[in-house]
Amino acid sequence: MRLNTPQKLTVIFLIMLLVYWTGLQVSGVKTSPYNYLYSFLFGLPPLIGGLITIFTAPHWGGFKTNAGKGIFYTGLGLFLWGGGSMVWVFYYNFTLGVPVPYPSLADLGYAPGSFLYALGVFYLAKLSETRLHLVSKRGKLFVAVAPLVVGALSYYLFVTIARDGVLIIDGKAPIKIFLDIVYPLGDFIALTIVVLISGLSFPYMHGKYKFDIAATLAGISLMFIADVVFSYTTTVGTFYNGNFGDLLFTLSTSLLTFGILGFYTLKE
């Protein structure tokens, strides 16, 4: 397996982030500028990697091909997520001194992410033999059951666990109610598509980009868990910049960035 230069840089930067995060945990700081700096740093890979990916899509045919559309939408999701992190850090953390802004302008970047990742991997899956394997009874049963299982899991984790059984709280601002619905919905859609691709397509995928697609799917799955942890810690009031949830966001966005950057160059 050969890694291109952007992928190598992503791995190196991830290692540096893990060292930095470990240092934060050892020091025990939770409200220092170093915590805000970590939020800024782990937002760089999706921001820069997403931008690179957006400009890579035309080399794969852009919107004329499934590969081009898959690469573009995944890259756009990453870029917007990274942009949301920049707003979170520079405008709210450093300028306004707000450690946990929600809802905020940063959500304009964060919220579309899951929907765009789902759309991206949907098109990438079309490079495989998904349709061929839908004709079997087992394939049709899997398509029928998987969304139900993911839906039940999403409700249990996002509502029962993370929000103490309450999805919509009376008296809250309409924008917060909207976002409280959008985030779990986006994660549900993204994880459902990942499960369907993993069950119907991935076992039959061949070629030079299978590992890159696997990393992308893993990143989306981990993003689901990260969002659950974020929702739970903000609900119970234990969130701080650089916590365990941020580590999960670091790993998930790095995996997503690493995977989609595999399409940066044509592999021989």
68-77, 117-126, 185-194: least confident range: 117-126
Which residue range is the domain that position 226 belongs to?
A: 5-264
Output the DSSP codes for 35-66.
Answer: HHHHHHHTTHHHHHHHHHHHHHGGGGTGGGSH
CA atoms within 13 A on the CB side of 122: 12
Q: What pLDDT does residue 132 have?
A: 47
Q: What pLDDT does residue 238 have?
A: 94
- Confidence at 2, pLDDT banded by 50, 70, 90: confident
Q: What pLDDT does residue 172 have?
A: 73
Residue 59, token pair as written in the block: 């080399």
Neighbours of 127 (CB within 10 A): 16
Q: What pLDDT does residue 211 have?
A: 86
Higher pLDDT, 168 or 69: 69
Neighbours of 216 (CB within 10 A): 28
Could you give the CA distance from residue 237 to residue 235 in angstroms, rounded to a whole number?
6
Could you tell me the pTM of the whole model?
0.92
CB-based contact 100:234 (threshold 8 Å): yes
- pLDDT tens-digit profile of 152-198? 999 999 999 988 877 777 667 788 888 888 999 999 999 999 988 87
In what helix (H) or strand (E) does residue 168 lie, and over which residues does it extend?
Answer: none
Residues making up the chain, counted from first to last: 268
Neighbours of 162 (CB within 10 A): 21
In what helix (H) or strand (E) does residue 198 lie, and over which residues does it extend?
Answer: helix 174-200
User: What distance lies between CA 65 and its chain's CA centroid?
Assistant: 23
* Domain tally, the chain: 1
Q: What pLDDT does residue 135 have?
A: 54
